[in-house]
Every structure is written in structure tokens, then in C-alpha cells.
Amino acid sequence: MQKSKYLNLASLFTQIDNDIMKLKGKNYARDDMTILDLNNFNDLICIDKNGFEGCKNLKTVFLPLKIERILDYAFNKCGITNLNFNNITNLFKIGESAFANNKFKRLDLSNCTKLKTIEDNVFFNNEIIILKLPYSILKIGDSAFEENKIEELDLSNCINLKLIGDRVFLNNEIKKLKLPESILKIGDSAFKDNKIEELDLSNCINLKLIGDSVFLNNEIKKLKLPVSIHKIGDFAFEENKIEELDLSNYTNLKLIDENAFIKNPLQKIKILGGINVIYDSYFSNDLWNKFVDFYNINGKKAGDYKLINNQWQIV
């Protein structure tokens, strides 16, 4: 008799906490399983760590409607292409690397409104093109969506989002990006190696820091930063296509770190004279012997400067 491609789960359940069900164990699924259907397990609320890790032939998963927790590495290194979260409204935790190394092309979590955190590496190395997140999200962990194929990313509906971690969207195909007003921090290399052409963060009025290498290696031509910004980190905008940069109205900007705008075709720059700490090479060699306009805090031109022997000198 040919083995079924479905998994019989009847022997894998344990009663806990007033008949609430938990699917537990480690690597208990067969390698040849292609479909996992949990729809009929009405009381199942948790899938344990490593439960289906390494089921490389698993393509389709149907989750139980009452599922609340999917723990670390639960479906890591499978071949999942189909997983629908549309009716999953009780889910409040997806553990670290729970769905890493799969083949998702579309991911819609917008109805999972109890979900507050996207943990580290959760959807690392998939093939996601379209992504939708719920308004309830507060934090997206490190590398959560690294190595995917996202083309447009609109997080403007995520009105509670405070933190985007390191490398979250590194190495995607993002051309258009919208972030919510609520964002407080964007981690290092968060949007590195994408294809962003225009970047307007002017609505992100609570954002104070652009971290190291955040937008390194994109195609940014037009850049608008929020007036709240205090610091631009190392290599933050390296390898883009910025020709004109106007920072003359950013009264809160105190520090532009080394090489922040290296490898851009910069031709014209306006900088507020009140910036009190600037590394000598923050534009590296790109602007040596080129003119830079400095402005005082009232917006009046303070003088024309250029780099001579690594020092800004008035001319």
C-alpha cells in the first residue's frame, strides 16, 4: 500500500489546561508528506518548537482556526508554498525562524491583529513578493524578511510599528517604500541591497536615527528625511544615485557619520552650519575639492566651504 501524503496526527496530541490541545514533539512528520491539514483540530492552539522542521516536501499547510502560537523553527526548512492566514485571528506569537527557508510567494498577516512582534528570521529566505502586515505590529525582528523578493512595501497601515530591526528587508527587490509615522528606529542594514528609487521619510516625525548601512546599495535619486533626525550612521546611503542633498533645514541633525554618502554622484549639497560633529570623511573622496553650502540656523547662507587637507575651509 502506498503511504499517504497526509499526516495522521491523532497520536501526537496531549491534553493540557482544561482540554486545550497542544501539538508537541520534535521532527515527528514524515519526509514524504506534502500536505498538512489541521483544520479539523478545533482546540489546537500551539505548534511546538521544531515540530515540522526539515519536511522538505511539505507544500501546503492548513492551520487550525484557533491557533495562538507557532513556536521556534516549527516549519523551518520545508518547501511550503501555500499557507493562508486570512481566518487566523487568535495568533499572537510566531517564533524565531518558524517559517524560514520555505518558498512563500505571498504573505498576508493583516487579519492577525493580536500579533505584536515579528520575531527574528521568521520568514528569512523565502520567495515573498507581496507582503501585508497587521496594524497591531510593534516590532519587526532582525532578518525577519531577509532574502526575499518583495517589490513594493507599504507599512503605512502599521500605525503602532516602533522598531524595524537589523537586516529586516536586506536583499529584496523593493522599489517603493512607505513607513508609518510611528517608527522610532530603523536598524543597521535594514533596507540594504534593494532597488529603492525615491525615499520620502518626512512623515516619520519620531525617527531620530538612520543606522549604519540602512539604505546601502539602492537606487535612490530623491531623498527626504524627517526633521526629527539626529544622526545619520556609517555608510547609511552608500552606493545610491543621489545628486543633490539639502539638509539645510534639519535643525536637530547633530552627526553625520563617516562615509554616510560615499559612492553617490553628488553635485550639490546644503548643510546646516549647526551640525556640531562631522567626521572629516563623511562624504569620503566624492566631494573633496567640491563646493558645499553651509547654512546657519536661520537658513541664511553662512559661507561657501570646500575640503582642503581634510578640513572644511571657507572660500
What's the pLDDT tens digit per position in 213-240?
Answer: 999 999 999 999 999 999 999 999 999 9
- The reported pLDDT for the residue numbered 293 is 53
Q: How far apart are CA 40 and CA 75, in angstroms?
A: 19
Q: Does any domain span residue 163? A: no
Cβ atoms within 10 A of the Cβ of 282, count? 21
For residue range 104-116, list pLDDT tens digits in order: 999 999 999 999 9
Q: What is the per-residue pLDDT for 35?
A: 87
The answer to the question of residue 242 being in a domain is yes
CB-CB contact of 246 with 267 (8 Å) = no
On whether residue 297 sits in a domain, the answer given is yes
Which residues span the domain enclosing 241?
A: 212-314
Q: Is the pLDDT of residue 302 over 60?
A: no
Confidence of residue 129 (pLDDT cuts 50, 70, 90): very high
Cross-strand pairs, 255: 231, 277
Domain assignment present for residue 65? The answer is: no
Flag whether 260 is in a domain: yes
**Predicted local distance difference test score (pLDDT) of residue 277:** 41
pTM: 0.84
Does residue 24 form part of some domain?
A: no
Percent of the chain with pLDDT over 90: 57
Give dist(CA 204, CA 189) in Å, integer.
18
In a domain, 121, yes or no: no
Q: Are strands 130-132 and 106-108 parallel, antiparallel or unpaired?
A: parallel
Q: Which residues of 124-147 are buried (b: 16+ CB within 10 A; e: fewer)?
A: bbbebbebbbbebbebbbbbbbbb
Half-sphere exposure of 159 (CA within 13 A, CB side): 3
305 assigned to some structural domain: yes
Q: Are 288 and 265 in contact (CB under 8 A)?
A: no
- The count of domains in the chain is 1
Average pLDDT, the chain: 82
